[in-house]
Amino acid sequence: MPELPEVESLRRSLLPYILDQKITKVEVLLPKLVSSKGTARQESSEKTQEFISGLENSQIKKLTRRAKNMIFELDTGGILLVHLKMTGQLVFKDKNHLITGGHPIQDSETTLPNKHSYVIFHLENGTLYYNDVRKFGYLLYFSSKIKLDDEEHFGDLGMEPLEESFNEEEFKKRLKTKSGNLKKLFLDQKVVVGLGNIYADEVCFTAGVLPTRNVKSLNDKEIKKLFHAIKIILVKAVDLGGSSIANYLLGDGSRGNYAHHHKVYGRGGKPCLVCGNTLSVTQLAGRTTVFCTVCQK
DNA sequence: CTTTCTGTTAGAAA
DNA sequence: ATTTCTAACAGAAA
């Protein structure tokens, strides 16, 4: 499910519960998820063994994020990389608490593991479940950070919008090297990371720029508005714990609330909340895209 | 019942 | 080189 705000919210919510915990045992119930990323994955017993033995008996020292990837850094120098893709979920359960994140499923608060729990990490004080209804996600083990860099896993990724280094000049510079429509630019992660279908549309609306616009046609004022919209929207979404649905919970038991702030996502055909004009729907870069032809130019 | 849609992205096809 | 399409899969909605 997650775009940057959801992954970041999940990271923050898990942090206090898993930091400094030792992984005592790892169960892999769907081996292809730990073998590689991409389509047509084959399960590999070698990879599975490497994954399990690499992680067992190590301690989680850091939990960080790059784009929509979650990165567990271990005391051994090893790295666990998790990408939730569409429906991945990391849920931590201990005797007293249950923290869920990612794409929620009906009974995740009461029953764990459930039929979609495919990788299970037993920690000293609880259990971390990786659930994934559509099985698109992946969990990869690297024996070192060097190894992770070598494989160029994050090769083409663009700027991190929540970092200090995300500045207007650099954003403009990178954007100017691109062509094609704005929606595509936001979805492909090469200039700026973290936007998905929801936030791409929300950013375009807030900036007052049509997602159909060719990047080449944007003037400096529009680029500035887009830059600020990205920052404002992502910061606010993280503040509110992300946009998920149903029983998405944060570490303190509160719920992600940004979905109530969506102006265009999921509202095609309904009146624009600002001007009342009927919101348009089209396909762009293969994804449903919603916008207001009055508020966006 | 069938068909369509869905928060992602790698890799193939064009 | 660059852009678009499809596959990976399951389930909810229409």
CA to C1' distance (Å), from A257 to C13: 23
Q: Which of A40-44, A143-147, A189-193, A270-274 has the lowest mean pLDDT?
A: A40-44
The Cα A204–Cα A276 span in angstroms is 17
Instruction: Give the mean model confidence (pLDDT) for residues A258-281.
Output: 89
Could you tell me which of A101, A94, A168, A172 has the C-alpha nearest to residue A131? A101
pTM: 0.93
CA closest to C1' of B6 belongs to A86
Instruction: Give the mean model confidence (pLDDT) for residues A149-158.
Output: 83
Alpha carbon A116 to its chain's center? 19
- Between these two residues, A1 and A145, which has the higher pLDDT value? A145
Catalytic residue among A47, A65, A68, A263: A68
Q: What pLDDT digit, counting tens, does each position of A82-122 carry? A: 999 988 889 888 866 666 555 444 444 457 788 889 999 99
CA to C1' distance (Å), from A260 to B14: 40
The verdict on whether A3 is a catalytic residue reads yes
The Cα A148–Cα A16 span in angstroms is 25
Could you tell me which of A74, A105, A73 has the C-alpha nearest to residue A88? A105
Instruction: Give the mean model confidence (pLDDT) for residues A143-156.
Output: 84
CA to C1' distance (Å), from A36 to B3: 32
pLDDT of the residue at A202: 93
CA closest to C1' of C3 belongs to A180
- Among all strands, which nt has the closest C1' to A287 (CA)? B6
Q: What percent of chain A has pLDDT over 90?
A: 62
